[in-house]
């Protein structure tokens, strides 16, 4: 994408749901969205991490965020419907969703991965984003919302030892294409953002001995996310986007 300088109030009066807000890219994005005026809904599995992030947002003068703890690996349709109803009742609108929640265990040959592990990966990495978008569809349509899915390079180009993680992220890409096609004339839009190598908690697991000083940080990636989430990219839909 071209160089971009977001306005300080780019997301003023907007409500944005961020999944995986407890750490990594989700945490950095939630802080950045709040600094640009958004009321952020912090969704994650660990309440303590969400509460810490809540306090940071309040200390920096951002709008009061909302906390919604949820384990996406165990959530049901009823849980996702309850999320949508809570957003509608408490906040009245939903202007965007950033799907950052990602499940990754470790690199391993396929012969060492069991069915339970694969189902766990698929539920978090592919099924949950689809379920959230489905449950929140009426809210998203009402505000002509921007939905951002976060992809991964091995979902686009699978390789040995990336196993169920790569396959689940490939499934996310397939879902993205289907959803983008179905929303081609809808008020809301969806794009897929693939960060590439980044100095993140997941990278620490996959490349523990690597010198990461040359890699972008999660904070570095918030500029393209601001562009995708805000009105300056309103004509951008159904696109694969990278930094």
Provide DSSP, 189-216: EEEEE---S-BSHHHHHH-TTS--TTSP
Provide the phi-psi class of 119: left if phi over 0, else alpha when psi is between -120 and 50, else beta.
alpha
Quick one: pLDDT at residue 211? 52
Q: Residue 86 has what pLDDT?
A: 97
Residue 198 banded pLDDT, cuts 50, 70, 90? low
CATH number for region 15-241:
3.40.50.720
pTM: 0.92
pLDDT at residue number 49? 96
| Confidence band for 55, pLDDT divided at 50, 70 and 90 | very high
How does pLDDT run across 172-194, given as a tens digit for each residue? 999 999 999 999 999 999 999 99
pLDDT value, residue 203: 53
Q: For the sheet containing 15-19, what is the strand order?
A: 66-69, 39-44, 15-19, 96-99, 146-150, 189-193, 240-241
With CA atoms as reference, report the closest residue to 72 among 136, 148, 151, 126. Answer: 126
Give dist(CA 193, CA 117) in Å, integer.
25
- Work out the average pLDDT over 31-52: 97
Q: Which two tokens stand for residue 15?
A: 């409500």
Question: Percent of the chain having pLDDT more than 70?
Answer: 91
Task: Work out the burial of residue 187: count CB atoms within 10 Å of its CB; fewer than 13 is exposed, 13-18 middle, 19 or more buried.
Answer: exposed
For 56-75, write each residue's pLDDT tens digit.
999 999 999 999 999 999 99
């Amino acid at each position: 994408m071209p160089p971009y300088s977001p306005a300080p109030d780019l997301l003023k009066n907007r409500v944005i749901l961020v999944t995986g807000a407890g750490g990594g890219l989700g945490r950095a994005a939630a802080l950045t969205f709040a600094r640009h005026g958004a009321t952020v809904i912090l969704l994650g599995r660990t309440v303590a991490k969400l509460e810490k992030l809540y306090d940071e947002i309040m200390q920096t003068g951002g709008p009061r965020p909302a906390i919604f703890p949820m384990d996406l690996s165990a959530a049901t349709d009823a849980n996702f419907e309850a999320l949508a109803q809570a957003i509608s009742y408490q906040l009245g609108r939903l202007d965007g969703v950033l799907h950052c929640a990602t499940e990754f265990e470790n690199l391993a040959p396929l012969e060492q991965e069991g069915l339970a592990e694969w189902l766990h990966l698929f539920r978090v990495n592919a099924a949950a984003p689809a379920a959230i978008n489905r449950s929140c569809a009426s809210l998203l349509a009402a505000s002509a919302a921007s939905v951002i899915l976060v992809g991964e390079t091995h979902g686009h180009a699978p390789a040995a030892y990336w196993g169920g993680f790569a396959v689940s992220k490939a499934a996310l890409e397939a879902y993205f294409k289907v959803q983008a096609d179905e929303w081609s004339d809808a008020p809301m839009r969806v794009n897929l953002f693939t960060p590439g190598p980044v100095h993140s908690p997941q990278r620490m697991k996959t490349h523990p001995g690597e010198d990461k000083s040359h890699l972008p940080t999660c904070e570095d990636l918030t500029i393209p996310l601001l562009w995708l989430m805000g009105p300056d990219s309103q004509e951008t839909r159904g696109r694969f986007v990278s930094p």
